[in-house]
Structure 1
């Protein structure tokens, strides 16, 4: 009967997770949020469709092990390439400041120092999955604020492991933080030493001998046994199973079998991760949230305000403008999926009491529910930041060249030095067309200067930067990156400063074209058309279709493009 009850609960979770994933995909919302809501609905505080919560949590615990294993397999500091300074220094400052402020809040609430330390660790982590989906859906991933946000998120993901060590070290003990963390790191050092020795002396030789038998299943099973064995050793040392799984994954990542093992685990990871988040939703107690509404709202306010203010100040500290800093602060103000991972580790290791667990769970849950709505504030905050830019970084501190525009007249202002921007710059140089570049990526600014290109380091959507670029005497502005929001803001600034300038912009999607023309763009290059044109040409050439037929198909695409442009211009007029 117990087995039947467990299977019923397990099946209910899988069915609800599948239905929610389909629904949230159609709504273009993160599935993680759906899994949490599904857990609330089917759990003991909802319709009570699942009652065997403890066994489900044990299964979800295995999901944590699998998740940490794949994190280890994917771990690479190269992911921070190009943004290491802001990611490592900025990310470290952000986590430490969040912990410090949370300890202060905990003292006000008469919570223990350990609980304040843990609360700070929880609120310091934002959701990579949600933010990444948001940036990709809006085509903002390659913008300055998108790159900064992603680098911070990657660092936060990597910081999960030491934070898990902290959490485990603080669990179940009454001693000082230094004593608890000292023991935790000593045990971790012992585990790492053992893993390194096993990797160098046994692993490669063993795996190659197993692989020589030519049976992939045996190779996979051997790897699973080794990984789970290391996780078990970690648990026996008093660390979490997830920490051991991470180091096991990291060990395999440096072998010839890492990529194959990752490919085998990924499908299972999604299943167990969905179970994990649904199981977290099962524990969400709506009655508790209502009864302790004041504490939950105060903690919620702390999370949103602290994350926003801390992140904004840190980003500005690195010399980026207020608009970028505030945008990053907003999209990283929520609590992320790894916070729930830490929360579960804390619960299982008795790092926090049940009351604080529910307060943090309710707060984290509400921030994730609010996240899609917080993203709508980004354009509003961007407009507000233009009016309060006096409180941002002074132009003299983040524009490198005051002399760059001297003598420039009837020139082109080129915004962005990505692949398209580099091609345009090369063309302008060869044709001796005067131009100046605006770029916010320091590495690209340095690269442009190597080619003796006049360049200003700054945000093209900032009117002071545009003035430095000589917008009042410019003949054209060319925006070479596809960021929708960024382009719209630049167009508005350009129109206010020089409405006679020719504006050429680039966009990813056809539906954005009429709006860009309406705002004042003179030329809109649409990436979908260019891709369609090239794909048609190359595929037809591959199949040796006669040239006249290829030209006819390409003419059809060109005609549709011209018609769409005419319609967009007519709407503008």
Structure 2
């Protein structure tokens, strides 16, 4: 553990990690195989109700305690809820403690077996909890005081400047940064919402209106002036946050232009369904750029290349407007 901490701060961390990844997979396999060998089916059958009750108490208790602690510490409700769900299962170190307890006769063999069964139950339940994450995030947003707390934590006041017909950028990562730089060059106004406080502080130091928090918060979107904005660019890759931000933005400003990104093709229609006007799929757009480069090098005319790309883009996104961006009609 200490060696890992030291290596992580050195310039060799990526090289060491690349060599360790195969071993990680081997040890993960050994862990689950050994866990399965320790499970006694008779104990599971004889104590099924007791084990189920203990798993429920454990998972719910850890989720509530961790989530409440993170909310109290000022973390937004989405991050707090998802983090609590990830940490709701029994950790691997509990097996070490249980083994020590058995060796020191603090617990007997039956209790040790019960601990293993409960641990296995919590591990098996984790994927289901993560699938329910978006639903539970919505439930957490309804808790008393959550919206008020997050609204009060929006970093810091920048005065009463009236913002209107501007661009709201949700997520200032690589995509958001490119967009922001282009808007800066044109002298166009924009506000930023980002979950990284360091990015928010840096933008505020540059005089850019930036707010810390989850873009899916309607209170935060209002503070960013989405009700008066002309365009909102949702650049975050997280589908849960993106859909929430689009839905709230559309409710607060029905005529706002919404552009967002999709990781895979299946997400394109989902994002349109919640109100996105245009959805960009980065991998597909990268593929089109490869096509453009290769065709031009093979002697295909610029007009024919542009028409082909426009037609391919329109077919992929199922939007006739896709070809309008290039001033060409798609070929029949």
User: TM-score band, normalised by the shorter chain?
Assistant: 0.7 to 0.9
1:314-463 correspondence runs (5 A): 314-340=69-95, 343-344=98-99, 347=102, 352-388=107-143, 390-391=145-146, 394-403=149-158, 406-463=161-218
How far off its partner does 1:385 sit?
2.8
Task: Say whether 1:548 aligns with 2:303.
Answer: no
Contact 2:233 2:259 in 1 (8 A): yes
Assess if the C-alpha contact under 8 Å between 1:319 and 1:393 holds in 2: no
Distance 1:297-1:261 versus aligned 2 partners, 3 A rule: closer
SS of residue matched to 1:505: strand
Q: CA deviation at 1:260?
A: 7.1
Higher mean C-alpha deviation, range 342-351 or range 510-519: 342-351
For residues 53 and 149 of structure 2, the distance between their equivalents in structure 1, rounded to whole angstroms, comes to: 34
**Partner residue in 2 for 1:19:** none
Residue of structure 2 in register with 1:564 after alignment: 316
Per-residue deviation, residues 310-351 of structure 1 (Å, max 9, x unmatched): 211221123122233122212321224454455456556766
- Alignment-derived partner of residue 516 in structure 1: 271
- Inter-CA distance 554–262: structure 2 relative to 1 (3 Å threshold): same
Q: Distance in 1 between matches of 2:11 and 2:187?
A: 52
Question: Following the alignment from structure 1 to structure 2, what is the Cα–Cα distance between the partners of residues 329 and 440?
Answer: 17
CA distance in 1, matches of 2:115, 2:5: 28
Structure 2 CA distance for partners of 1:401 and 1:344, relative to 1, 3 Å: same
Q: Secondary structure at the match of 2:279?
A: strand
Q: Which runs of 5+ in 2 are unaligned?
A: 322-332
Q: Name stretches of at least 5 consecutive residues in structure 1 with no aligned partner.
A: 1-70, 80-253
Which deviates further from its counterpart, 431-440 or 551-560?
551-560
Residue 305 of structure 1: aligned partner:
60
1:477, 1:501 within 8 Å by CA — same for their partners in 2?
yes
Question: Conserved in 2, the CA contact under 8 Å of 1:322 and 1:393?
Answer: no
Q: Which has the higher helix share?
A: 1
Structure-to-structure mapping, 1:129-144, within 5 angstroms? none
Match of 1:467 among 211, 215, 222: 222
Q: How many residue pairs align between the two structures? A: 321
Mark the CA change 1:561 to 1:308 in structure 2 (over 3 Å): closer, same or farther. Answer: same
Structure 1 residue 376 displacement after superposition: 2.1
The separation in 2 between residues aligned to 1:467 and 1:444, in whole angstroms, is: 20
1:363-394 superposed Cα distances (whole Å, 9 cap, x missing partner) = 01011111121112211112223333534552
When the two chains are superposed, the root-mean-square deviation of aligned CA atoms in Å is: 3.3
Structure 2 length-normalised TM? 0.83
- For 1:255 and 1:403, the matched residues in 2 are separated by 39
Alignment of 1:525 with 2:280, yes or no, is: yes
Alignment of 1:69-468 (within 5 A): 74-76=4-6, 78=8, 263=19, 267=22, 270-340=25-95, 343-344=98-99, 347=102, 352-388=107-143, 390-391=145-146, 394-403=149-158, 406-468=161-223
What is the TM-score with the length of structure 1 in the denominator? Answer: 0.50
Superposition deviation, residue 553 in structure 1: 6.4
Pick 1 or 2: higher relative contact order, CA cutoff 8 A, min separation 6.
1
Alpha-carbon distance change, 289 to 355 in structure 1, aligned in 2, over 3 angstroms: same
Distance in 1 of aligned mates of 2:240 and 2:6: 31
Residue pair 1:319, 1:397 contacting (<8 A) in 2 also = no
Tell whether the 8 Å contact from 1:405 to 1:470 is kept in structure 2 after alignment.
no
**Over residues 137-166 of structure 1, what are the superposed CA-to-partner deviations in whole Å (9 max), with x where a residue is unaligned?**
xxxxxxxxxxxxxxxxxxxxxxxxxxxxxx
